[in-house]
């Protein structure tokens, strides 16, 4: 009998297939004692296992490329954390086996992360994955991971670590469903980059029996268990119609009556550029430069290394617009040489622009490298600061850009509610705004973007969030300046129409979402988008806002 479940849709598309479950986590190793004379050998075993796992993560990252590479390289650094390894050595010295010492050391570190504020909860899944891989290697058992199968399937997991998500084979993994995670978790972002339909935060997903046929709608978040033939035909027909519409839609982003809405790509480095170009991106709306810094958390990359990486991206979009976000360090992206390790709540502490203003040499080097990278190129370079709170922040950033001799537009990200509320004041110092809806939602609703339990408050359809977008867009219009969206909200085709109706002037997203957004915008006039935006803001919940906008745009 067909039943319907609902999670959070995070990656467009439809998948119909049999359920396969993720390999189970490594069992807790026994707490056996070892003789003192074996301690040195056990310490060597632990180091070898850690190095092997780090090498494997780096190799997976190299194969995956793009944002996935940066995420996996950060995981490899986590595996080799000196403090963790020192704790492992200490535990072995007092009688623990290598596998038990690793298990207990990671458990202690896990508790520290969990107690350091909810913002770091997303790091716990990554830490657990690293621990499981090291312990599995020490025990000589298979690594936890994606199941072996010759037939395509829908993958079910409690959560997916970046190492697993990055190398999913879309020819075999039709889609995936997780019990945990949120719309802006690593697995969700990588799923969109892969173009794999995905639903997260589905309670009870692990209870779906192996081999059960399910239909996954990555747009609505609906899961149909044992779908009827009629339901299968309906979903397959809708998927075919969507595919045809995508193929027919080309060129710059615009509404049906010709209102231009440039569609840009979010990239983490040169590895993401080919997919962006293939999708028809009109430029880059968010170049996340922090991934370059995560290659070595002990020191900043040299100016020469930065110039090479920036120029590779700038050269890919001649005459196009490339918006670079300067280093956004802190909170879930800690760097040993920049961010304090003892902040009680890193998400509310020194992160983003605050970190850079505390380390002006790092900001100066990055801005100088950007100036050199753009020298002689016809690209339209724009540089923006993350986590701008007020006009003083915006002025400090603009002054630093001018001091570095940067010939570019300077902008501010709107991720803190105060920036949206005082957007017109901030625009006295900078030339454009870019809305990071992921963090803006997090700070507006006090809802950690990595925690599935509060995912309803991370929904970008929340009317309060739409109000803040409208405030920012209205301020930019009044000042004759631009206001784009580079958060994950822009990747939702229906919401893209609403954002356009709110006055947003450009949309930036993962490359895989660009065709969907382009095709949907092309079906509607600007006036329809404006009516849909007004209808959404007049509601009291995210679900009501989505339905109200849908009703307007479908002509109901």
**CA diameter of the chain:** 79
219 Rama class: left (phi>0) / alpha (psi -120 to 50) / beta: alpha
Q: Which residues are CB-neighbours of 199 under 8 A, at least 6 positions away?
A: 7, 8, 9, 10, 175, 176, 177, 178, 216, 217, 218, 221, 222, 223
For the chain, the first-to-last Cα distance in angstroms comes to 31
Cα 347 to Cα 325: distance, rounded to the nearest angstrom: 18
Q: What number of CA atoms fall less than 13 Å from residue 119's CA on the CB side?
A: 22
Q: Which residue has the tokens 């999913």?
A: 168
Burial state string for 142-167 with b = 16 or more CB within 10 A and e = fewer than 16: ebbbbeeeeebbbbbbbbbbbbbbbb
Please provide the size of the chain in residues: 556
Residues forming the active site: 186, 486
Contact 138, 368 (CB under 8 A): no
DSSP letters along 473-522, please? HHHHHHTT-EEEE-SGGGG-HHHHHHHHHTT--EEEE-GGGHHHHHHHHT
């Amino acid at each position: 009998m067909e039943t319907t479940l609902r999670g959070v849709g995070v990656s467009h598309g439809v998948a119909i297939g049999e359920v396969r479950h993720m390999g189970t986590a490594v069992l807790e190793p026994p707490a056996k004692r070892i003789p003192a004379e074996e301690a040195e050998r056990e310490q060597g075993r632990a180091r070898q296992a850690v190095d092997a796992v780090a090498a494997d993560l780096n190799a997976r990252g190299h194969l995956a490329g793009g944002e996935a590479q940066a995420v996996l390289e950060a995981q490899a650094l986590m595996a080799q954390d000196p403090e963790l390894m020192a704790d492992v050595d200490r535990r072995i010295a007092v009688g623990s086996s290598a596998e038990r010492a690793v298990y207990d050391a990671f458990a202690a570190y896990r508790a520290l992360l969990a107690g350091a504020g909810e913002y770091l909860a997303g790091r716990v899944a990554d830490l657990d994955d690293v621990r499981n891989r090291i312990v599995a290697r020490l025990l000589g058992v298979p690594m936890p991971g994606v199941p072996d199968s010759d037939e395509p399937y829908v993958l079910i997991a409690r959560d997916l670590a970046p190492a697993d998500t990055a190398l999913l084979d879309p020819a075999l993994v039709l889609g995936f469903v997780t019990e945990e995670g949120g719309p802006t978790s690593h697995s969700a972002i990588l799923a969109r980059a892969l173009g794999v339909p995905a639903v997260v935060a589905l309670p009870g997903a692990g209870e779906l029996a192996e081999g059960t046929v399910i239909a996954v709608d990555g747009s609505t978040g609906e899961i149909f268990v044992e779908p009827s033939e009629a339901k299968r035909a309906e979903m397959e027909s809708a998927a075919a119609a969507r595919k045809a519409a995508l193929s027919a839609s080309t060129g710059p982003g615009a509404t049906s009556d010709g209102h231009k809405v440039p569609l840009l790509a979010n990239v983490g480095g040169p590895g993401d550029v080919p997919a962006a170009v293939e999708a028809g991106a009109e430029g880059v709306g968010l170049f996340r430069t922090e991934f370059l810094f995560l290659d070595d958390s002990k020191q900043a990359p040299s100016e020469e290394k930065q110039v090479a990486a920036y120029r590779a991206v700038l050269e890919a979009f001649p005459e196009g617009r490339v918006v670079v976000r300067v280093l956004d360090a802190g909170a879930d992206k800690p760097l040993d040489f920049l961010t304090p390790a003892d902040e009680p709540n890193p998400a509310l502490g020194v992160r983003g622009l605050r970190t850079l203003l505390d380390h002006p040499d790092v900001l100066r080097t990055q801005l100088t490298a950007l100036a050199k990278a753009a020298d002689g190129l016809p690209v339209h370079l724009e540089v923006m600061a993350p986590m701008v709170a007020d006009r003083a922040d915006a002025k400090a950033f603009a002054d630093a850009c001018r001091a570095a001799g940067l010939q570019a537009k300077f902008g501010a990200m709107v991720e803190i509610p105060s920036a949206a509320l005082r957007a017109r004041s901030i625009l006295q110092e900078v030339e454009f705004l870019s809305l990071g809806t992921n963090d803006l939602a997090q700070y507006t609703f006090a809802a950690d973007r990595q925690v599935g339990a509060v995912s309803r408050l991370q929904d970008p359809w929340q009317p309060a969030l739409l109000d803040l977008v409208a405030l920012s867009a209205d301020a930019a219009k009044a000042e004759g300046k631009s206001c784009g969206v580079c958060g994950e909200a822009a990747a939702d085709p229906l919401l893209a129409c609403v954002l356009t109706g709110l006055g947003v002037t450009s949309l930036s997203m993962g490359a895989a979402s660009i065709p969907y957004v382009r095709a949907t915008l092309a079906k509607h006039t600007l006036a329809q988008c404006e009516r849909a935006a007004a209808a959404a803001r007049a509601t009291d919940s995210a679900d009501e806002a989505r339905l109200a906008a849908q009703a307007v745009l479908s002509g109901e």
